[in-house]
Amino acid sequence: MATLRDIKRRISSIKSTSKITRAMKMVSAAKLRRAQERMFALRPYSDKMREVLQSLAQPGEQDIHPLLRVRPRKTVEILVLTSDKGLCGAFNTNVIKAAEQLMNDLKGEGFEISVSTVGRKARDYFRRRNITIRESWTGLSGNISYSTVQGIAADLMNKYIDETFDELYLIYNEFKSVVVQNVTKLRLLPIGGMEHDEEGEMKDFLFEPAEEEIFSRLLPKSVEIQLYRTMLESRVSEEAARMTAMENATKSAEDMIERLTLEYNKARQAAITKELMDIVGGAEAIKD
C-alpha cells in the first residue's frame, strides 16, 4: 500500500506534468492560428489554378509537356507527409497506416513501389521496417517556406520526367476543423487525365504566347502550389492534433490529481484514526 509520502510525491509529479501539457497546448494554439492564416490564404489560389488547368489541359495535348503525359504504370511513388515531432495523438499513425494500405493495394496489383517521406516520423518508421526510402525531407515542421517546397517539387518533377516513377501520390492529413483532420490521398503526377466537361466537349483556346511556353510555366508552378498547399494542410492538422492531445492530457492529469487527492485524504484520515485509537488504547491501559 502506498504511503502518504508516496501519494504526495505522485500528486506533485502529475501537477508538474499538467503545467507542461497546458503550456504546450497554448503554444500549439498560437502556432495553429498563424498556420491557419497561411493555409486559408492559399486555398483559393490553389483551387483556381487547378480549375484553370482542368480547362486548359485537353486529353489530346499530353505531348505538349512531359508533366501532362500519362504513361503505363510500372512504378508508383508515394510521398508520405508526417511531422518531425510527436505528442500529437494519432496524427502520424493514421497517415502511415493509410500509406501502408495504399502500398499493399498497389503491390497486390503488381506495381513497384517507391517511397519518399516528409517528416522524421515517417522516415524512422519505414527505416525500422527496412523499407527503402528514395528521398526524405526533415526539419520542416514549423518552418515550411515556399522556396523549400520548390526544391522538393523540383526533385519530384525531375524524377517523374526521368521515368524513375510513373505516378505520384501524396498521403497527408487535410485540415477540416480543430478536432477533425482527414487522411487524404492526392494524385499529384501526372497532371494529365483531368476531368473535362460532362458532355465531353473540347474547348478551343487561343494561347498567347505559344501554348508550349504557357504550359512550361504554368504546370511546374501548379505542382509547387499543390504541394505547398498539402504541406500547409499537414502543418495545420499537426498543430490542431497536438493542441487536442495536450488538452486531453491536461484533463487526464487533473482527473488523476483529483483521484490521488481523495486517496491521500482517505489514507491521512485512516492514519489519524489509528493514532487516536492508539492514544485511547494507551489511556485505557494506564487506567487498568
Q: pLDDT at position 205, please?
A: 60
Q: Which residues of the chain have pLDDT under 50?
A: 194-200, 202
Q: Is residue 268 part of a domain?
A: no
Q: pLDDT at position 200, please?
A: 46
Residues 6+ apart with CB under 8 A from 222: 49, 50, 53, 191
**Helix, strand, or coil here: 13?**
helix
Q: List the CATH number of the domain containing 165.
A: 3.40.1380.10
Are 112 and 78 contacting, i.e. CB atoms less than 8 angstroms apart?
Answer: no
C-alpha to C-alpha distance for 286 and 288, rounded to whole angstroms: 5
Q: Is residue 214 part of a domain?
A: yes
How many domains would you assign to the chain?
A: 1
Q: pLDDT at position 286, please?
A: 75
Are 76 and 109 contacting, i.e. CB atoms less than 8 angstroms apart?
Answer: no
Q: Is residue 34 part of a domain?
A: no
Q: What confidence tens digit (pLDDT) does each residue in 167-190 have?
A: 999 999 999 998 899 999 999 998
**Helix, strand, or coil here: 139?**
coil
Q: pLDDT at position 204, please?
A: 61
Domain that holds residue 211: 41-240
Question: Catalytic residue among 57, 88, 188, 191, which?
Answer: 88
Q: pLDDT at position 109, please?
A: 94
Are 140 and 119 contacting, i.e. CB atoms less than 8 angstroms apart?
Answer: yes
Q: Is residue 30 part of a domain?
A: no
Q: Is residue 272 part of a domain?
A: no
**Helix, strand, or coil here: 128?**
helix
Q: Is residue 27 part of a domain?
A: no
C-alpha cell at 21: 501539457
Q: Burial code of 192-205, b = ≥16 C-beta within 10 A, e = fewer?
A: bebeeeeeeeeeee
Cis peptide upstream of residue 59 (ω within 30 degrees of 0): no
Q: pLDDT at position 62, please?
A: 60
Q: pLDDT at position 279, please?
A: 79
Residue 142: active-site member = no
Q: pLDDT at position 43, please?
A: 92
Are 165 and 76 contacting, i.e. CB atoms less than 8 angstroms apart?
Answer: yes
Q: Is residue 265 part of a domain?
A: no
What residue has cell string 498556420? 35
Looking at residue 147, its amino acid is S
Q: Is residue 271 part of a domain?
A: no
Q: pLDDT at position 195, please?
A: 43
